[in-house]
Structure 1
Amino acid sequence: MKMIQEKYKGFATVLAYAIAPLSGIAVDLYSPSLPAMARDLHVSVLNMQASVSIYLVFYGISQLFVGILLDSFGRHRLNLISLLIFSLSSFAIAAIPNIHVIYILRAIQGVSIGIVLVAKRAFLVDMFNGDKLKHALSVLTIVWSIGPITAPFIGGYLQTSFGWKYNFYFLGAASMVGFILDWIFSGETLHAPAKFHFRQIAANYSKMLGTFDFILSITLSGLAYGVAMIFTLTSPFLIEHTFHYNSVTVGYSLLVVGLGWLSGNLLGKALIKIDLNKKIFIANIVQFTTLALMILFFRIAPNLYTLIGFTFFIVMASAFIFNNSFTYSLSRFPKMAGIAGGLVGGFTYILLSGITYLLLLFIPVTELMSLAWYDLILVGGISIVFVSFVRGRRKQVALKSASCPG
């Protein structure tokens, strides 16, 4: 097994940060092309959006179990194989424009990139500890957010200039470059693989799944990310069909909202030492306030600028909540990084895909108020889960104090 070399550790860490955003780029790059793909493949809007949901479901499912393999057999080899599969499947989607084939290949991509992301998270946990680990994981969420910013912008131009297939050619080429560089410069970071004991693994899963604050922090992450994802899925249709702009404008709009996501993550990192409950409470109030103003302006001044302007701040507050809750859950079990990272990512994206698909199924994208209803449901869900999270943590503190008198 090829262990990582000391002289390459710095570059390998940068490479981990560079590869991780592929999981988000795989959705956001072709989001401006969704209307064109629906037309070319002769399918409905919901059928085309389902390709995203399928990807997210399998992306989440793979993360639930891959942590066991990464903790038992190492990170590097599985990471390389998965990167190669992701690259080849991207080229295959462009070569075989059939909705059912795309569904299958998107499922394969979800599994493969899920393995890559958990491997890179575990890589960082192997390389850092303590406050440096929290810093590294927070940086990872910030770097990951670059995908939603740049991908739709690039995708909009690729769609306008060459067509939707070139989004997948781009994905294939980018992941192939990542595969080659990772093969050359990275290596195994797990020095003491855990023995594959089913009972111990089951006990670890049981411990994590029975930890109330851990599960609720994951739920917060899924709901917060859902606010950004629902805009990514609906904005191409709203902007093209309601306001009659092209896919380049969709790309620019997603770029602006993506900057909101990045700003929220940066703010989350900057305020990392402030009390978690206080931060999330204030961010949730900002969400409700901005959402109320957005609904008002949708009635009196429905245009692209009000859509993007208010969504920017709602998504920014959501990213702030996501950064804090995701970092909290990832660092909750540092001694079981592979399994914990898999559960965090897995449940977050399974929840994300389920919520977004159900919202789109029961509230069709017909007008601007559809987006307002989506946001109201998600932001309300964040409030409910947050209240439960706060109460759960208080009970944990009370029980701990009672068990350790004096």
Structure 2
Amino acid sequence: MLCIMPIIGMCIDLIAPSLPAIAQGLKISNAMAKNTVSIYLLGFCLGNFFSGFLADAWGRAKIMRTALLIFTVVSAIPLVFPHIIALLLSRLLQGLAIGTASVVLRAICSDVLSPDGLIKLGPWFGTMWGFGPVFGPVLGGYLQVYFGWQAGFYFFSIVSLIICLVVWFGLPETHFNRHPLEVAHIKKNISEILHHRLFLGIAAVMGLTYSLIILFNVSGPFLIQVTLHHSPIFFGHVAFWLGVVFLLTTISIRLLLKKYSVEKLWLVNINSLFAAGIIFLCLSYFFLHSMWLIAVASAVMFLGCGAIFPISLGKGLSLFRYMAGTATAVMYLINIGITSLCAYLAGFIHVRDAFILMWLYMTFVFLVVLIYWTILRKQQ
């Protein structure tokens, strides 16, 4: 089951090196090609939101098999119909399917493992998911150079078909204490969550910090490959090291959390990220096409996301331990929804140099700082 996690983490990063080729091959604008990322995120957040309720009512195995089958089929749509409408539909349904699979996978583990077992499995989840953003861009770069932009969808179709067959014939049902959907009760819980100011602030911060990573995925390929004339393989290797930075930061922040409070880590990380962003913005005015500046600044943004996102997730869910499932669904709906919106808006901006990229980074970081000082800090 854990083999699903790298696919979840790879669905954006594997495609990112091919975005310029998609724009050229389908004869569409760069903004439209970038929308393949934002529409995937939209599907992912909707899949995360609805599938938890359905899995409790209908069972895990049925939902998981259906989600993986849908992902396998829709991944082949761009291969049969190489048109932008078909591609966008495929990406939306990919997001819905993989978002559903990720939620059901967590639910299955909760069914079959003890609390101690879940704690021990947590790092494995993070590590397996982390393989996607780390190795996805490298693999995507090579696939693009040697086989073209459709190769990524061949990869998704073949790998997901294998996983689907294994799950279809090897996954037993793990949830037998089913109950019907209680819409009124669900609405009551969601309403309570949406009226919690601190929770909403945390979810917004998570969405904006994750947008720093997605911004590089949608704008980086065009800046690095088209403007700076580097290959998709080069972009893939840059993204690989950025993924390593993010992964190592998430590990480090867990260790720091044993010594420092979430509030202290928020204070240091958010304000340090803002200060670093100002420095990079100033430098970018003088070094418009410096690959080193783009790489280092992006690494700091990935570091900031790796430091802020995980502790915010834990803090937000701790506010509603008595309805953790609903809180998780709402949290991901908000933060991935914000990320999808940010990716969509960023798609219309032509990032032709480091200065524009730094302005976009600073816009998101400034909003994070604003939320911290007006909501998170006051609610402590």
Q: Is the 8 A contact 1:71 1:339 kept in 2?
A: no
The reply to whether residue 107 of structure 1 matches residue 107 of structure 2 is: no
Question: Match for residue 67 of structure 1?
Answer: 52
CA drift at 1:150: 0.8
Distance across 1 between alignment mates of 2:239 and 2:32: 22
Could you tell me the TM-score, scaled by structure 1's length? 0.86
Question: Match for residue 320 of structure 1?
Answer: 307
State the SS of the aligned residue for 2:305: helix
Distance across 1 between alignment mates of 2:57 and 2:378: 32
Distance across 2 between alignment mates of 1:325 and 1:317: 12
Q: Which moved more, 1:239-248 or 1:299-308?
A: 299-308
- For residues 153-172 of structure 1, the aligned pairs below 5 Å read 153-172=138-157
- For residues 103-182 of structure 1, the aligned pairs below 5 Å read 103-127=88-112, 133=118, 136-137=121-122, 140-182=125-167
Q: Work out which of the residue numbers 165, 173, 187 in structure 1 matches 2:172.
A: 187
Question: Match for residue 386 of structure 1?
Answer: 372
Q: Is the 8 A contact 2:75 2:154 kept in 1?
A: yes
Q: Is the 8 A contact 1:222 1:352 kept in 2?
A: yes
Question: Match for residue 348 of structure 1?
Answer: 335
Q: Which moved more, 1:167-176 or 1:177-186?
A: 177-186
CA drift at 1:108: 1.3
Distance across 2 between alignment mates of 1:328 and 1:117: 21
CA drift at 1:98: 0.4
Long gaps (5+) in structure 1:
1-14, 395-406
Q: Is the 8 A contact 2:281 2:359 kept in 1?
A: no
Distance across 2 between alignment mates of 1:317 and 1:142: 19
Q: Is the 8 A contact 2:293 2:354 kept in 1?
A: no
Distance across 2 between alignment mates of 1:271 and 1:132: 23
State the SS of the aligned residue for 1:299: helix
Question: Match for residue 223 of structure 2?
Answer: 238
* C-alpha spacing 1:131/1:359, structure 2 compared with 1 (3 Å): farther
Q: Is the 8 A contact 2:48 2:333 kept in 1?
A: yes
Amino acid at match of 1:148: P
Distance across 1 between alignment mates of 2:113 and 2:378: 29
Long gaps (5+) in structure 2:
none
Q: Is the 8 A contact 1:146 1:262 kept in 2?
A: no
CA drift at 1:189: 3.2
- For residues 276-291 of structure 1, the aligned pairs below 5 Å read 276-291=262-277
Could you tell me the TM-score, scaled by structure 2's length? 0.92
State the SS of the aligned residue for 1:50: helix
* C-alpha spacing 1:132/1:272, structure 2 compared with 1 (3 Å): farther
- For residues 67-86 of structure 1, the aligned pairs below 5 Å read 67-86=52-71
Amino acid at match of 1:140: F
Question: Match for residue 298 of structure 2?
Answer: 311
The reply to whether residue 28 of structure 1 matches residue 13 of structure 2 is: yes
Amino acid at match of 2:338: L
Distance across 2 between alignment mates of 1:121 and 1:164: 32
Question: Match for residue 249 of structure 1?
Answer: 234
Amino acid at match of 1:213: L
Q: Which moved more, 1:321-330 or 1:104-113?
A: 321-330
Q: Deviations over 1:98-143 (max 9, x none)?
A: 0011111211112111111111232344455767656655653453
Q: Work out which of the residue numbers 351, 356, 360 in structure 2 matches 1:374.
A: 360
Amino acid at match of 1:372: M
Q: Is the 8 A contact 2:71 2:97 kept in 1?
A: yes
Superposition RMSD in Å: 2.2
Distance across 2 between alignment mates of 1:389 and 1:296: 28
Q: Work out which of the residue numbers 2, 20, 28 in structure 2 matches 1:43.
A: 28
Q: Deviations over 1:36-88 (max 9, x none)?
A: 11001000000111111111112212322222112222222101110111011
Q: Deviations over 1:345-397 (max 9, x none)?
A: 22221110112222333x32222111101110111111122234434543xxx
Distance across 1 between alignment mates of 2:374 and 2:123: 24
Distance across 1 between alignment mates of 2:118 and 2:238: 34
* C-alpha spacing 1:312/1:127, structure 2 compared with 1 (3 Å): farther
CA drift at 1:330: 4.1
Distance across 1 between alignment mates of 2:149 and 2:328: 33
Question: Match for residue 228 of structure 1?
Answer: 213
CA drift at 1:294: 2.1
Amino acid at match of 1:283: N
Q: Is the 8 A contact 1:137 1:327 kept in 2?
A: no
State the SS of the aligned residue for 2:105: helix
Q: Name the % identity.
A: 27
* C-alpha spacing 1:110/1:22, structure 2 compared with 1 (3 Å): same
Q: Is the 8 A contact 1:20 1:120 kept in 2?
A: no
